[in-house]
Structure 1
Amino acid sequence: MIQQVGNETEQLLSKESAIRKVVNEINADFRQKNFVGVIKSIELRVVPSSNKIVQLLGEIKQFNDDNLYNFGEVNLFNSEQQSREENNRKAVQYLSALNKSISGYRNSTITLSDSFELEFRVVENDNDTGWVDKLANVGSDGTDVLVKAMINIMLLNVFKEGATRNQFKDFRLHCMMDEIGKLHPNNVRGILKFANDRKIFLVNGSPQSFDALAYRYTYQLSKKRDTQLDREITVVHRIVTNHRL
């Protein structure tokens, strides 16, 4: 049982290197194409999980690795009785502790996201958040939205580049961005450029038009009754085309 837990834990934790690679690529992406505006720096890092079950699984894996042939039934490699019996007691203690922890756990499974934690560090003008585990209170509501959007754009770009690097020369991606109205007009232009530099094109919806000339196209959506279909349909009118972009 200990060996099975150890092997499955190793499979779970083996993904850490891939996660660190993605985080490093996101950090490099920001350094290569910096955001000119209030956000001077964004960094991410992977830290060990604070999940108690994950920590216990790590201990069990280490115990299994250190005593692979020195617990359980007698075999050619664990003929020393005292050491084997001591390790058997430890194995039982580990399994009992694991059973107790699982019984009180809020979820039915341990997922990859439980095996690590992300921390963020954002420098906004002269405000340095230090390493924090939540992207809250970076600044105003608008700044929070801006930082989250930038991180999502960089994450999209990392996966886009990885998936298309050897297949498409000029792959472009469109995506929706919510809460655009919370951004300062200067930051609207900034986030659009930040995305466009990565060949990601943002589609925003708002009851009001904010800095329409920052966009290539501005559309107006309205509802009308289609008598033939006998239902409401959405009508799209292009009202601005910016040929300078």
Structure 2
Amino acid sequence: MLGKLLNTLGLFSLATLVSLGGFASYLAFTGRVNAHRLDLVAAVLRGELDAANAAASCADEPDPTSQPAAETAAQVSPLVPSPELLRGAQPAPSAEEAQVRRQRETLEALRIERALADLDARRRLLDQVLHDVIRSQEQLAAREKAFEERSRLVVAEADDQGFRKELEYFEQLKPAQAKEYLSRVWQTSRPDAIRLMVNVDQGRGKRILEQFKTPQELALMTELLEQIRLQGSSLTADTSRTTDGRIAP
């Protein structure tokens, strides 16, 4: 029971001290209590000074709460610059500085204009180069096509001349020899054998065909005549041309 009472008294004393400390801090912060006034209170408690003289001494001190708001704000926040200082930190540019700024802006505008003109010139040059490249490619393709056509004509003419010479010798062979030659050509190049029989004189061709007598030779003749029937017309129309009254590719 006594312990609880002591605990209660201790808590009450602690709360009282905390309250007094907070009140004293408030008085000190607001300026209502300072070192001089504390000395006066101590002198009154020691009997060295009566209460009337202490009150008169306190009345002679200026009231901190009656100071102007601007002065109080300046004391509380000494780091805040004044409006005059702020205006002085950004002075208005002089006429010379304004002229320098305008010149700098003009030079920058000219630089941008020159850069744009240079880009436009480069673009036009690139377009011209691309146009020249495309035209050169077209001309090269045309020359290649013309060269291929001339080459084809030269090859066709040489082939035609060679065929006419072959046909001339073929017609001069005896029928048996012509049959043997035709059989060999058939084994190596059937279109050439068909071409010979299509362009040979009809009477000469008939005498050559009469030389095919064995079953193998008759089979070859039958297939040869079948190919002539199927391909003769288109072959003479697509790969032949008229020479001396005969059709030669």
Shorter-normalised TM range:
under 0.3
- Report the structure, 1 or 2, having the larger helix content: 2
The structure whose Rg is larger is 2
TM-score normalised by structure 2 residue count: 0.20
TM-score normalised by structure 1 residue count: 0.21
Q: Which has the higher contact order (CA 8 A, sep 6+)?
A: 1
- Report the structure, 1 or 2, having the larger strand content: 1
